[in-house]
């Protein structure tokens, strides 16, 4: 699907534009948007509204053909809700409705001219990005492993978004960035949706290498012997029970100044999680192929920022392996030594994500990072706490970490990829006490997502750090089963803001 910005002449408007379809907004009180009013030269749209053929409620649609007095073949009326102010939710509902109709239209091209001037608390750039992402999300298919592919509907393949002459240049950049973001989300979805027998640690490493080759990124993949030399005893304890070799992937996008401290993204890459000896129940275990969505989101974010040519130094670190039961597998009660030298009593082998992340978080000290963000499908407890709407955000409570948390929360709010800050306090650390090691890898059921974050926090005290628990947001279950591409929008928006702030300070 191709996207572009169409500059609308203030004098001639959209009525003379030749297009297979023009999508315009209408409101609940039978009022028309300015663009709809312009197309209503012979009263066809007003008549449709008065007849009740379209209510104007958010997401309602009506397709009109051969409207007199205009050049477009079709006009798609789209309900926007109240005309007082179009809310974010109503605009997204409208954009999704447009995407659904466009998928089955018998034309190749269309123009979207929704009333972005009526948006409440959002600007035109936000509306354009939301439109692109909504249409790309509706267009996404994952049928690569089906012997008989789903028939691809023709539909609209070229989408132009209406803009004023004053906004055109800026919105062209927004469209390019939105397409890059959608490409990154698609990569994250594809990796998440692949089964564990295809998307192995080696597959993730090969994907990183392909990205590096395509976008001229730096890449390094460490194997078992190198991990042993680094004394990553915690990471290696997780991979003991599997035949698949572990991979430790380091990806570098060095778009900033050579001396600028990088932002480091650390993604959990458990390509399949049986729970190990602490075996999971069989029901829904197939969804544990999604336990590498942290890694997938790092790769997807790198895909997006590389296409954008982001002027910022960003390093991705992905510890990846399987967690399987076998005669070699780590047992409950075993004690391992992490790369940091701290010892861990493994009370539950199904709490393995923190065991691979802690060594990765120690490894990244060498980069002297400006900030480190780890992303992991870490705990079911986070789903219990926040459901499937918000990602859990954890970090320490001081000025530097509060600023990082605020920036991440703002990026999530700007993109609709929202997060919610959870507590992380010394009182919770008490639950990780062990009689036999420096710490246990679990703290019991109470506050399970918090104690998991507290475990990771012990390995991050040399830099500014945040943890994103995406267990509830990285994929959907049931009939809509599939990876969501989150939190690529949040991470990409955060990095864009960081690049703008960094480069703005230097030019000032």
User: Do 205 and 106 sit in the same domain of this protein?
Assistant: no
Percent of residues, the chain, with pLDDT higher than 70: 99
Question: Distances from the Cα of 34 to the Cαs of 14, 40, 72, in angstroms?
Answer: 11, 10, 17
* pLDDT score, position 435: 98
User: Do 97 and 18 sit in the same domain of this protein?
Assistant: yes
Please tell me whether residue 380 adopts helix, strand or coil conformation. Answer: helix
Residue 170 lies in a domain: no
**pLDDT class of 507 with cuts at 50, 70, 90:** very low
Residue with tokens 């049986």: 274
Instruction: Report how far residue 372's alpha carbon sits from residue 367's, in angstroms, rounded to the nearest whole number.
Output: 10
Q: Which residue has the higher pLDDT, 149 or 147?
A: 147
**pLDDT class of 506 with cuts at 50, 70, 90:** low
Whether the full predicted model's pTM is greater than 0.85, yes or no, is yes
Closest CA to 254 of 282, 224, 216: 216
User: Do 307 and 251 sit in the same domain of this protein?
Assistant: yes
Distance of CA 58 to the CA centre of its chain: 25
User: Do 262 and 399 sit in the same domain of this protein?
Assistant: yes
User: Do 187 and 59 sit in the same domain of this protein?
Assistant: no
- Indicate the pairing of strand 263-267 with strand 61-65: unpaired
Tokens linked to 450: 């918090």
- Please identify which of the residues 354, 396, 486, 498 carries the catalytic annotation: 354
The helix (H) or strand (E) run that includes residue 24 is: strand 22-26
User: Do 354 and 475 sit in the same domain of this protein?
Assistant: yes
Instruction: Report how far residue 272's alpha carbon sits from residue 235's, in angstroms, rounded to the nearest whole number.
Output: 15
- The residue from 102, 129, 162 where one domain ends is 162
- Please identify which of the residues 37, 122, 172, 280 carries the catalytic annotation: 280
SS (H, E, C) 383-448: HHHHCCCCEEEECCCCHHHHHHHHHHHHHHHHHCCCEEECCCCHHHHHHHCCCCCCEECCCCCCCH
Domain count within the chain:
2
Based on the residue annotation, tell me whether 225 is a catalytic residue of this protein: no
User: Do 315 and 368 sit in the same domain of this protein?
Assistant: yes
Question: Is it the case that residue 308 has pLDDT exceeding 70?
Answer: yes
User: Do 120 and 264 sit in the same domain of this protein?
Assistant: no
Residue 150 lies in a domain: no
Within 8 A by CB and 6+ apart from 133, the residues are 178, 181, 182, 185, 489
Task: Give residue-wise pLDDT tens across range 342-375.
Answer: 999 999 999 999 999 999 999 999 999 999 999 9
Please tell me whether residue 248 adopts helix, strand or coil conformation. Answer: strand
| CATH classification at residue 34 | 3.40.220.10
User: Do 202 and 325 sit in the same domain of this protein?
Assistant: yes
User: Do 119 and 266 sit in the same domain of this protein?
Assistant: no
Residue 55 lies in a domain: yes
Instruction: Report how far residue 127's alpha carbon sits from residue 92's, in angstroms, rounded to the nearest whole number.
Output: 9
Angle (CA) 254-471-137 rounded to 5° is 70
Task: Give residue-wise pLDDT tens across range 13-61.
Answer: 899 999 999 999 999 988 999 999 999 989 999 999 999 999 999 999 9
| CATH classification at residue 301 | 3.40.630.10
Residue 456 lies in a domain: yes
Rounded mean pLDDT, 309-319? 98
299 neighbors 199 (Cβ within 8 angstroms): no
Q: Which residue has the higher pLDDT, 147 or 497?
A: 497
Question: Distances from the Cα of 7 to the Cαs of 14, 69, 113, 123, 170, in angstroms?
Answer: 10, 21, 11, 17, 12
**pLDDT class of 471 with cuts at 50, 70, 90:** very high
User: Do 418 and 488 sit in the same domain of this protein?
Assistant: yes
Residue 428 lies in a domain: yes
Residue 176 lies in a domain: no
Task: Give residue-wise pLDDT tens across range 87-102.
Answer: 999 999 999 999 999 9
Residue 168 lies in a domain: no
Instruction: Report how far residue 53's alpha carbon sits from residue 49's, in angstroms, rounded to the nearest whole number.
Output: 6
**pLDDT class of 207 with cuts at 50, 70, 90:** very high
Based on the residue annotation, tell me whether 280 is a catalytic residue of this protein: yes
Torsion of CA 49, 21, 15, 82, to 10 degrees: 40
User: Do 128 and 201 sit in the same domain of this protein?
Assistant: no
289 neighbors 272 (Cβ within 8 angstroms): yes
* pLDDT score, position 117: 84
Instruction: Report how far residue 24's alpha carbon sits from residue 6's, in angstroms, rounded to the nearest whole number.
Output: 14
Task: Give residue-wise pLDDT tens across range 233-283.
Answer: 999 999 999 999 999 999 999 999 999 999 999 999 999 999 999 999 999
347 neighbors 451 (Cβ within 8 angstroms): no
For the CA atoms of the chain, what is the radius of gyration?
25
Backbone angles phi, psi at 136, to 5 degrees: -70, -40
* pLDDT score, position 92: 96
Rounded mean pLDDT, 109-117? 94
Residue 189 lies in a domain: yes
Rounded mean pLDDT, 193-204? 98
What is the domain extent for residue 86?
2-142+155-162
- Other CB atoms closer than 10 Å to residue 94's CB: what's the count? 28
317 neighbors 267 (Cβ within 8 angstroms): yes
């Amino acid at each position: 699907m191709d996207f572009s910005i169409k500059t609308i002449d203030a004098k001639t408007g959209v009525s003379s534009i030749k297009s297979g379809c023009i999508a315009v907004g209408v409101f609940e009180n039978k009022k028309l948007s300015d663009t709809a009013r312009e197309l209503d030269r012979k009263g066809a749209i007003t008549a449709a509204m008065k007849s009740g053929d379209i209510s104007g409620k958010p997401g309602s649609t009506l397709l009109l053909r051969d409207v007199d007095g205009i050049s477009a073949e079709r006009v798609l009326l789209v309900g926007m809700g109240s005309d007082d102010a179009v809310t974010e939710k109503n605009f997204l509902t409208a954009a999704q409705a447009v995407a659904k109709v466009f998928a089955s239209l018998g034309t190749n091209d269309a123009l979207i001219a929704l009333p972005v001037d009526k948006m409440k608390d959002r600007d035109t750039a936000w509306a354009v990005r939301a439109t692109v992402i909504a249409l790309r999300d509706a267009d996404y298919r994952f049928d690569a492993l089906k012997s008989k592919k789903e028939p691809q509907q023709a539909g609209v393949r070229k989408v132009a978004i209406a803009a004023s002459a004053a906004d055109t240049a800026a919105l062209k950049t927004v469209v390019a960035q939105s397409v890059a973001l959608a490409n990154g989300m698609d990569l994250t979805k594809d990796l998440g949706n692949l089964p564990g027998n295809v998307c192995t640690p080696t597959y993730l490493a090969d994907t990183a290498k392909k990205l590096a080759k395509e976008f001229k990124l730096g890449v390094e993949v460490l194997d078992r012997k190198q991990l042993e030399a680094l004394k990553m005893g915690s990471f290696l304890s997780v991979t003991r029970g599997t035949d698949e070799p572990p991979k430790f992937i380091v990806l570098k996008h060095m778009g900033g100044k050579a001396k600028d401290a990088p932002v480091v993204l650390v993604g959990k890459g458990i390509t399949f999680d049986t729970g190990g000896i602490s075996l999971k129940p069989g029901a829904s275990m197939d969804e544990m192929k999604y336990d590498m969505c942290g890694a997938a989101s790092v790769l997807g974010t790198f895909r997006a920022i590389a296409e954008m040519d982001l002027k910022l130094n960003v390093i991705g670190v992905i510890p990846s392996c399987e967690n399987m039961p076998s005669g070699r597998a780590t047992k409950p009660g075993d004690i391992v030594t992490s790369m940091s030298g701290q010892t861990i009593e493994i009370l539950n082998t199904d709490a393995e994500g923190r065991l691979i992340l802690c060594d990765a978080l120690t490894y990244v000290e060498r980069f002297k990072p400006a900030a480190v963000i780890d992303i992991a499908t870490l705990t079911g407890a986070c789903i219990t706490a926040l459901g499937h709407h918000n990602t859990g955000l954890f970090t320490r409570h001081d000025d530097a970490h509060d600023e990082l948390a605020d920036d991440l929360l703002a990026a999530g709010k700007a993109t609709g990829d929202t997060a919610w800050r959870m507590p992380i306090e010394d009182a919770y650390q008490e639950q990780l006490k062990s009689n036999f090691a420096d710490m246990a890898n679990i703290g019991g059921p109470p506050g399970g997502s918090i104690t998991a974050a507290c475990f990771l926090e012990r390995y991050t005290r040399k830099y500014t750090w945040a943890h994103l628990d995406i267990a509830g947001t990285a994929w959907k279950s049931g009939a809509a089963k599939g990876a969501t591409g989150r939190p690529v929008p949040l991470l990409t928006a955060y990095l864009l803001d960081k690049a703008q702030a960094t480069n703005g300070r230097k030019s000032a």
